[in-house]
Amino acid sequence: MKRPTTPAADPSAPAAAVDLSADRSVDPALPSGPARSSDAAPTPVPRPRADAVRNRERILVAAREVLVEQGSGAPFDEIARRAGVGNATLYRHFPDRAALVHHVVLFVMDRVTVQAEDSLAEESDAFAALCRFTHAAADERIGALCPMLAGDFDGEHPELIAAREALAAAVETLVAAGQEAGLVRTDIGVGDLMVALSQLSRPLPGISCMAVDGFVHRHLQLFLDGLRAPARSELPGEAATLEDLRQKTM
């Protein structure tokens, strides 16, 4: 059975007029000619795969623990092993030691900032919020940051400056809330809190970091009880700010 055929167009017939207004892809207000580059839709930025995001976080968590235990010279092989990834995966995310240390510091600072914000938002008592934050910050190994900030570490990198300012704002708000409520002594500053937190949460030489966790929280609570108002003693010196610490240590 033959298919029906379409009659051939008559070459002598006039060409049909084209109505551009019916074509939604053409804007009559635009000048004719080649399409301009600015008219093209922006190319979407590809999102990282979920497994790549998980691998990156596992590496940062493992690196944080290994750097706390073994210092900034800890072998990459141990970090990769503890993260459960291959060395190639680690180097794909962090091509050298400087990049890894940089991102571990950012990772810890960002997480501690969130802990300060969440503690203040979720606790009805400002002193309870301060205690919750301090113990959580110790679990994030914030005390390990100081050794990492030595040497050729770029403390003035824009990412570090932004993270440091966010952390300072969150902790200052937390301390101020306790002082305004009359629950925290007024002769201390955020720098006093962060110095004590750093010193009390850093492992002692020759002692396994994980073996002293119980003592860390015990001693932190003793310190926190000393911050309660009304003050029972007069502190020597002046209250320290985070800016004081930055000028003296970085």
- 5 part of a folded domain: no
Same domain, 114 and 87: no
- 203 part of a folded domain: yes
Number of domains composing the chain: 2
Residue 87: its pLDDT value, please? 93
Average the pLDDT over each of 63-67, 105-109, 143-147, 160-164 and give the range with the smallest value: 143-147
Same domain, 132 and 244: yes
- 213 part of a folded domain: yes
Amino acid occupying residue 114: V
Cβ burial 145-166 (10 Å sphere, 16+ → b, else e): beebbeeebeeeeeebeebbeb
Q: Which residue range forms the structural domain that includes residue 203?
A: 97-249
Question: At 193, which CATH number?
Answer: 1.10.357.10
- 217 part of a folded domain: yes
- 108 part of a folded domain: yes
> What would the mean pLDDT of 91-106 be, rounded to a whole number?
91
Question: What is the rounded CA–CA span in Å between residue 228 and residue 34?
Answer: 72
CB atoms within 10 A of CB 88: 8
The pLDDT of residue 76 is above 50? yes
Across-strand partners of 228?
184
pLDDT-derived band at 198 (thresholds 50, 70, 90) equals confident
